[in-house]
Amino acid sequence: MLYLTKLEYRSFSYEKSLKACILGQKKIFKSKSIEEIKSFCETEINKKLK
């Protein structure tokens, strides 16, 4: 049960962080596309998780 909860929370936390990053980056870099920003954010978040 604890293992399952940990996986669920990690997924929720990751998605929340990704959305926050995308919103922040879009405000800073208005000319970049959402796909570019999402790719950047996924890369940066994954670096921090390792």
Considering the chain, what is the average pLDDT of its residues? 84
Cα angle 22, 27, 29; round to 5: 85
Neighbours of 41 (CB within 10 A): 20
Which pLDDT value is given to residue 39? Answer: 97
Which pLDDT value is given to residue 48? Answer: 84
The residues of the chain scoring below 70 in pLDDT are: 1-9
Strand locations in the chain (E)? none
Q: Which residues contact 40 (CB under 8 A, 6 or more apart)?
A: 25
Buried b (16+ CB within 10 A) or exposed e, 24-38: ebeeeeeeeeeeebb
What are the extents of the domains in the chain?
2-49
